[in-house]
Structure formats: structure tokens, C-alpha cells
């Protein structure tokens, strides 16, 4: 037993030794959270004689689940394989694949992704003769389902118009969307959880069975659970909850997905008698980095006090670089990275995916290998989606969304007119589109192509039963001329590469997990973009990703770029305090990813949609005491003066003395102007020929003129 505890601090030990009853582990960034949970599970197995098949651990991503399982296997060996470690959604799929029929699910149900949702919504909108885009309706549907509130409740508070359509009509869109899903034997992502709850509520005996499999429950990243996940947890935990939740309210960054930070803040009310354990010692970051992190997060008003204590020495100062524009910012990042080397130890983090382009460009130009996480999903590429659609239809021929996707891919002479005639027939006779295809000779005059297509599908349906995913996709490729057709297209070679990559991914999956085509499709649907196969990515590469994707990770060196108003905090989050504070948490998450070296940067000019915009530095930078930052020039710590591009060091800062209206000032970029107003750390200055500018005194580098 000592080896389970000896390497842990007293709070971590307390968590590991906790046995029955509810417990909340408030675990600050880098405080050894995963380690603690892993040790706790090992402790349950070894010392408390709990069976592995009685333990459930819910993680935020499949990747996190995989890593936890791996660590457990190292620690306790074989029994780890019987542990249930998964995300909420993967757990729900497993439950529904077993018991789904109790709530009217067909065994071959498919999971619709965002794309499929949009396609279905477009059909619904057309049917209702509404001229609108699917986007807002998908947002509405997700909102309704993430809260688990139901349509009626949502409608009570909904705005009068949704997506430019009166809300009564929007409600009809919702209903039609739902019945569309049901008719096709499809579920969207959120349905997975909702239907599991329905199953548990209507069939207590099923809940009871699952509870046997989950006598000890762990929920990681509890601060990011939404009301539906909260309810599911409650149901599973039951009357005598052996529930340990782990999280950090300061890292709650999924409010947009209806994650409710109150779930973690109210845990002790929801589960009376819960033990509260705080992990506040940080083992990850140098104390200079940690001081910056603490300074930032303590500015949040809606927050429980908590300070992360450093265990590591000071280290290098946190650097700040002000770039004249986004290009220069990217060039700076690339230059510094070349100087640093050790690419796999470096991450560049940003708020929006769009920011990755410039960075990637400059890094590649500097011959730095790049691993771009999560931007364009592998499984979202058109050719991959097409192939997967064959699988979905073979598993569930009622899926007409995917059927229509493949009907003429590759082109086989079945055009739009033909399809719409057959779809109409299906609607009239109340059958599936595939059934209409079967009786094509009754509907259209030249049914040969359609009939050939039906024969192909029948073969594939059979193949889906008999073979695993790899063999299935190979068969599709052989029988459809998919490869040949792809080669004709622009970037055909690249796309073909992707196809080969899919085959490889399927093969890997069969070796590791194993299972049917349907299982493989589930696993694809549940895999986040950020966890996808990286095929060509070299081992030694710099990681580029959004702040959201960086949660839970750590890197010796981190670049946090684009620290500008309207980007971080994002322009859509400026108006409500909750949103603004979530942005600040996002910044905090970014800072706390860094172990040894942290660079912050912003650009004074940036193109958005190809339009040039002047920016202001992020207000979050003002949260950091100046003595914790070291401002660096375009070439890093050592000033380079000879190169013509080298910008002169900014003028010695004007002390933070207040400016007054009427004073003349000079700005390095805008020239001289007159102060119009000054408030807080901001001044508004009129620059002749440029216009009114609002500037942060701290960063504007204003010089007072006499």
C-alpha cells in the first residue's frame, strides 16, 4: 500500500484513501489530479477489494480515457481491463446498444454528426417552405437538448424569432427534426444522453443493472458537466452515492455547451455530507508562470477563492511581445521556435481555429514541423465522410440522409431529378427512401442505374454483417470505382492518401478494440477532432491548437498568441459578465499549460475575413502586474539592431500617470494627437488624419508632448 501513497502529498493521500460516500476534489491546474484518481482506483482495487467491474470513471475525452486506462494497467495490471473508463457519450452508446430497444431504438441506430444534422435540417426547412439556414436551428436544438429542458420550456423563454423565423415555426422545425431522426433510426449527439436518462427513468431494472457496474463512480472535469450529464450522474450514483467528482471551477470553459459551473460549486449541497478535498499545490509550472496565472484568475468576481501554490522555483520571466501585425506575430513565434529547438516540447495556443493559418504558414516556411490539432477533422473530409456514409447505410438502410450522400458518389448516372422523384414516392407511401429505390421501376421510366445501385447496396449490407470495417471499406472501394473517380478530382492524390489513412485507421482499430462495422462507426462518431489519426504528422513537431483543446495538457514551452480585445476576450463574450469571466478562465487555462517558458503576444493589426482591423491589447493583460512580465523585441531577448526589419524598441514607457483631456501625446504608430478622454487604464485620443482611438495606457506606449 505504501507505494500507492508515498509519492503523494497529504491532500492527495486523503483523496486516495477516501472510500464510500460522496467526495469533491477541487484540483487546481497541474495539481496531480489524474495521478490522484488513478491511485485512488488502484487503492480501491488493492486495499478495499472492490472489483474492477464495479468501477466507472468518466472522462472528458476518449483520449483521456485511454490514457487513464493505460496508467491503471501499468499500475494494477490485467484487472484494469475490466474497469469502465469512458466519456459520458461513449458510456451512453454502450448502454443504448444493449438496452436501446426498451425505449424504441432500432439496434442498427446511427449517430448523426453536425453535418448530418444540418442536412436533415435543410430538408425540414424546405419541407416547411422556410427560407432559412440550418445553423441557428441546430444551435437551438443543441441548447434545448443540452439543458434537458424540453421544447415547451425552451419556447417559454425563447426570443420571438429564431433564425429569422417566428418561434412557433421554429418549434415546428424542432418537432419535424425529431421525427426525421426517429424515422431514419438516427440519434444526434445529445440524444445519446437524453435517451439514456429516459431509459433509466422508465426501466428502473435497467438502471439497477448498470448501477451494479458502477458502484464507484469518478467524474473528471466536473466543472464542465451540463445539466443532462449532471442528471445522468445523479441517476447512476443512486441513493448511496460513492461518487468522487474532480474538477476546477477556474477551468470551466464550456459554458457555450451549457456546461454549468454551479454543478461543481453546489456539489456539497447536492450531495450532503460530501467530503471536500483541495489540491492546491502545483507541480507543473515555474513560480513565475504561476504568479501570472494567479494574478489573472483572481480578477474573476464569480469565483471561490483559491490560490495555486508553486512547488517549483522561479524560472524564466514570462515574456510579452507586441507585434505590429499578425504576420509579424507569427514570424516572431516561428523565429523563437527555431531558436529553441525541441519542437515536440512546444505548443502554440490561440482562441480561434482561424488563427492557425498564419502560424502554420510561417512555421512551415521556417522548416518547423507542425502538428495541427483539431482544425479540419480527419473524419470530416469529404472523401472520408463519403466512405463512412456507405458504412452507415449498410448498417442502417433507413438512413436516407447518408443514402442520398452516396447515391451518386462516385457519379453513376443517378441525378437530382431521379432522386427527388424517388424521395417523393417514399414520402407518399410512407416508406423509407431505400424502399422506394427498390421499387424504382414503378416510379421512374429508366430504372436500370437505380436497380444496379440497389444490388450494390444489398451486397454491402451483407458484407457489413460478415466483415469488419477494413474489409468492408475495401469492398466499397473495389466495387464503386471510388479510387478512380477520386483521382480525377483536384487534389485527388491527397484525397486518395486520406482514403488509405482511413483503411489504416480501421485496421488499427480492429487490432486494438475490435468489433463490427457498426462499432467502428460509433467509435468514429464519438471521437473528437482533436483525437484523430495524425497520419503524416512527424513525431518531432510543434503543437498548434485552440485553448479549448489544450485543456488537460502541458508543455515545457507555450506561446499564447492573439491576446487582443475581440479575440480573447472574444467579441461575442464582451457583454455578459459570466461570458467575460469564462474568457478569462480560458486565458488562465492557457497560462497554466506552460511548465518552464511562457510567451504572450498580441498584434496591433490583424486581418479578419481579409479585412484589416486595428486592435487593442486584451484587457486581461492589464491583470498582470508589470514586474511579472518582460517585454521582448521582435528578435526576442537580445535586441537586434542591424537588420532593417527590426523595429526600434518601443519608446520608454510613460509611467502610468494619468492623462488629462486636452493633453498632446505621441503614439508610435498614429503619430501625435490630442487626448479626448481618460478613464481607468484607457485613454481616447484624437489623431489627426487617423481618427479617434481608444488605447490602453499601459501598452499604447504614449509619450506626453509639451
CB 301 within 8 A of CB 289: no
Site for DNA in 183-222 (CB under 7 A): 189
Tell me if 150 is assigned to a ligand binding site: no
In 3D space, the residue among 320, 359, 354, 317 whose CA is nearest the CA of residue 337 turns out to be: 359
Catalytic residue among 54, 221, 250, 329: 221
153 has catalytic annotation: no
220 has catalytic annotation: yes
The reply to whether 487 sits near DNA by the rule CB under 7 A is: no
Find the shortest distance in angstroms from Cβ 562 to DNA: 11
Mark 33-72 with x for binding to DNA (rule: CB under 7 A) and - for no binding. Answer: ---------------------------xxx----------
Find the shortest distance in angstroms from Cβ 315 to DNA: 29
114 has catalytic annotation: no
Cα distance between residue 105 and residue 203, in whole Å: 14
The reply to whether 341 sits near DNA by the rule CB under 7 A is: no
Tell me if 28 is assigned to a ligand binding site: yes
Catalytic residue among 33, 231, 291, 666: 33
Tell me if 630 is assigned to a ligand binding site: no
Region near DNA per CB under 7 A, out of 100-108, 476-484, 567-575, 679-687: 567-575
Tell me if 701 is assigned to a ligand binding site: no
Taking the least distance from each CB to DNA, the nearer of 274 and 422 is 422
Cα distance between residue 706 and residue 466, in whole Å: 86
Tell me if 514 is assigned to a ligand binding site: no
Could you tell me whether strands 671-679 and 682-687 are parallel, antiparallel, or unpaired per DSSP bridges?
A: antiparallel
Place of cell 467579441: 571
172 has catalytic annotation: no
Whether cis (ω within 30° of 0) applies to the bond prior to 569 is: yes
Tell me if 429 is assigned to a ligand binding site: no
The reply to whether 374 sits near DNA by the rule CB under 7 A is: yes
The reply to whether 164 sits near DNA by the rule CB under 7 A is: no
34 has catalytic annotation: yes
Taking the least distance from each CB to DNA, the nearer of 528 and 678 is 528
Taking the least distance from each CB to DNA, the nearer of 12 and 62 is 62
251 has catalytic annotation: yes
**First-residue to last-residue Cα distance in the chain:** 74
Find the shortest distance in angstroms from Cβ 374 to DNA: 5
The reply to whether 610 sits near DNA by the rule CB under 7 A is: yes
Mark 131-150 with x for binding to DNA (rule: CB under 7 A) and - for no binding. Answer: --x-x------x--------
CB 263 within 8 A of CB 248: no
Catalytic residue among 54, 191, 220, 564: 220
- Give the total of residues touching DNA (CB under 7 A): 46
Find the shortest distance in angstroms from Cβ 408 to DNA: 5
Among residues 1, 276, 354, 452, the one that binds DNA under rule CB under 7 A: 354
Contacts 24+ apart (CB under 8 A), 358-361: 358/326, 358/327, 358/329, 358/330, 359/330, 359/333, 359/334, 359/544, 359/561, 360/544, 361/330
> Residue 341: exposed, middle, or buried by beta-carbon count in 10 A (0-12, 13-18, 19+)?
exposed
Buried b (16+ CB within 10 A) or exposed e, 371-399: bbbbbebbbebebbbbbbbbbbbbbbbbb
CB 322 within 8 A of CB 601: yes
In 3D space, the residue among 408, 412, 432, 409 whose CA is nearest the CA of residue 422 turns out to be: 432
The reply to whether 570 sits near DNA by the rule CB under 7 A is: yes
CB within 8 Å of 669: residues ≥ 6 apart: 324, 604
The reply to whether 159 sits near DNA by the rule CB under 7 A is: no
Mark 413-452 with x for binding to DNA (rule: CB under 7 A) and - for no binding. Answer: xxxxxx----------------------------------
Tell me if 34 is assigned to a ligand binding site: yes
In 3D space, the residue among 651, 633, 653, 652 whose CA is nearest the CA of residue 642 turns out to be: 633
User: What is the 3-state secondary structure of 151-211?
Assistant: HHHHHHHCCCEECCEEHHHHHHHHHHHHHHHHHCCEEEHHHHHHHHHHHHHHCHHHHHHHH
Among residues 98, 287, 325, 408, the one that binds DNA under rule CB under 7 A: 408
In 3D space, the residue among 198, 113, 116 whose CA is nearest the CA of residue 150 turns out to be: 198
Catalytic residue among 593, 606, 666, 693: 593
Tell me if 29 is assigned to a ligand binding site: yes
Place of cell 469502465: 84
Site for DNA in 379-398 (CB under 7 A): 382
Site for DNA in 85-114 (CB under 7 A): 87-89, 114
CB within 8 Å of 706: residues ≥ 6 apart: 664
DSSP 8-state assignment for residue 214:
T
Interface with DNA by CB under 7 A: which residues? 60-62, 87-89, 114, 133, 135, 142, 189, 253, 256-257, 351-354, 374, 382, 408, 411-418, 526, 528-531, 546, 548-549, 570-573, 607-611
Q: Which residues are annotated as a binding site for ATP?
A: 27-34
Give the residue numbers annotated as catalytic, written as ranges. Answer: 33-34, 220-221, 251, 593
Amino acid at each position: 500500500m505504501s507505494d500507492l501513497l508515498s509519492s503523494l502529498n497529504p491532500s492527495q493521500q486523503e483523496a486516495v484513501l477516501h472510500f464510500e460516500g460522496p467526495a469533491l476534489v477541487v484540483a487546481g491546474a497541474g495539481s496531480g489530479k489524474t495521478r490522484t484518481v488513478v491511485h485512488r482506483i488502484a487503492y480501491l482495487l488493492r486495499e478495499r477489494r472492490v472489483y474492477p467491474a464495479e468501477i466507472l470513471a468518466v472522462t472528458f475525452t476518449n483520449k483521456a480515457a485511454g490514457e487513464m486506462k493505460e496508467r491503471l494497467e501499468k499500475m494494477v495490471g490485467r484487472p484494469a481491463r475490466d474497469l469502465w473508463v469512458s466519456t459520458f457519450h461513449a458510456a451512453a452508446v454502450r448502454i443504448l446498444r444493449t438496452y436501446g430497444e426498451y425505449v424504441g431504438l432500432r439496434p442498427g441506430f446511427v449517430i448523426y454528426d453536425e453535418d448530418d444534422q444540418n442536412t436533415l435540417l435543410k430538408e425540414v426547412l424546405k419541407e416547411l417552405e422556410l427560407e432559412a439556414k440550418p445553423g441557428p436551428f441546430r444551435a437551438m436544438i443543441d441548447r434545448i437538448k443540452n439543458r434537458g429542458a424540453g421544447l415547451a420550456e425552451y419556447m417559454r423563454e425563447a426570443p420571438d424569432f429564431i433564425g429569422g423565423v417566428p418561434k412557433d415555426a421554429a418549434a415546428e422545425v424542432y418537432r419535424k427534426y425529431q421525427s426525421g431522426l426517429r424515422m431514419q433510426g438516427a440519434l444526434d449527439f445529445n440524444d445519446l444522453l437524453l435517451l439514456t436518462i429516459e431509459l433509466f427513468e422508465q426501466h428502473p431494472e435497467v438502471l439497477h443493472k448498470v448501477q451494479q457496474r458502477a458502484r464507484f463512480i469518478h467524474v473528471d472535469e466536473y466543472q464542465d458537466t451540463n445539466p443532462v450529464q449532471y442528471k445522468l450522474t445523479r441517476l447512476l450514483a443512486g441513493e448511496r452515492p460513492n461518487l468522487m467528482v474532480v474538477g476546477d471551477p477556474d477551468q470551466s470553459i464550456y459554458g457555450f455547451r451549457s456546461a454549468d459551473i454551479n454543478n461543481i460549486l453546489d456539489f456539497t449541497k447536492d450531495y450532503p455530507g460530501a467530503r471536500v478535498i483541495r489540491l492546491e499545490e502545483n507541480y507543473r509550472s515555474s513560480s513565475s508562470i504561476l504568479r501570472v496565472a494567479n494574478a489573472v484568475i483572481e480578477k474573476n468576481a464569480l469565483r471561490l477563492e483559491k490560490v495555486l501554490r508553486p512547488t517549483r522555483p522561479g524560472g524564466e520571466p514570462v515574456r510579452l511581445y507586441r507585434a505590429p501585425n499578425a504576420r509579424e506575430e507569427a514570424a516572431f513565434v516561428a523565429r523563437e521556435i527555431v531558436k529553441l529547438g525541441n519542437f515536440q516540447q512546444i505548443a502554440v495556443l490561440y482562441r480561434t481555429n482561424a488563427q492557425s493559418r498564419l502560424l502554420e504558414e510561417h512555421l512551415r516556411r521556417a522548416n518547423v514541423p507542425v502538428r495541427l490539432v483539431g482544425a479540419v477533422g480527419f473524419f470530416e473530409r469529404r472523401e472520408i465522410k463519403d466512405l463512412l456514409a456507405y458504412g452507415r447505410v449498410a448498417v442502417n438502410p433507413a438512413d436516407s440522409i447518408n443514402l442520398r450522400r452516396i447515391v451518386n458518389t462516385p457519379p453513376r448516372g443517378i441525378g437530382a431529378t431521379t432522386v427527388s422523384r424517388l424521395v417523393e414516392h417514399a414520402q407518399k407511401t410512407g416508406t423509407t427512401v431505400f424502399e422506394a429505390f427498390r421499387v424504382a421501376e414503378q416510379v421512374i421510366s429508366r430504372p436500370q442505374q437505380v436497380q444496379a445501385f440497389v444490388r450494390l447496396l444489398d451486397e454491402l449490407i451483407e458484407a457489413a454483417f460478415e466483415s469488419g470495417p477494413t474489409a468492408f471499406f475495401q469492398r466499397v472501394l473495389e466495387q464503386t470505382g471510388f479510387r478512380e473517380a477520386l483521382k480525377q478530382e483536384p487534389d485527388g492524390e491527397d484525397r486518395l492518401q486520406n482514403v488509405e489513412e482511413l483503411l489504416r485507421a480501421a485496421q488499427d482499430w480492429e487490432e486494438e478494440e475490435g468489433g463490427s462495422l457498426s462499432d467502428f462507426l460509433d467509435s468514429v462518431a464519438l471521437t473528437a477532432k482533436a483525437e484523430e489519426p495524425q497520419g503524416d504528422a512527424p513525431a518531432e513537431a510543434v503543437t498548434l491548437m485552440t485553448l479549448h483543446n489544450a485543456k488537460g495538457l502541458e508543455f515545457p514551452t507555450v506561446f499564447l498568441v492573439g491576446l487582443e480585445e475581440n479575440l480573447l476576450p472574444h467579441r461575442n463574450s464582451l457583454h455578459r459578465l459570466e461570458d467575460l469571466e469564462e474568457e478569462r478562465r480560458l486565458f488562465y487555462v492557457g497560462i497554466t499549460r506552460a511548465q518552464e517558458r511562457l510567451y504572450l503576444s498580441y498584434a496591433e493589426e490583424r486581418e479578419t475575413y481579409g479585412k484589416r482591423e486595428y486592435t487593442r491589447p486584451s484587457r486581461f493583460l492589464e491583470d498582470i502586474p508589470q514586474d511579472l512580465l518582460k517585454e521582448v523585441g521582435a528578435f526576442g531577448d537580445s535586441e537586434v539592431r542591424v537588420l532593417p526589419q527590426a523595429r526600434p524598441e518601443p519608446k520608454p514607457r510613460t509611467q502610468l500617470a494619468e492623462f488629462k483631456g486636452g493633453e498632446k501625446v505621441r503614439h508610435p504608430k498614429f503619430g501625435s494627437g490630442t487626448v479626448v478622454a481618460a478613464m481607468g487604464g484607457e485613454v481616447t485620443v484624437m489623431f489627426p488624419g487617423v481618427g479617434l482611438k481608444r488605447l490602453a495606457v499601459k501598452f499604447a506606449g504614449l509619450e506626453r508632448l509639451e
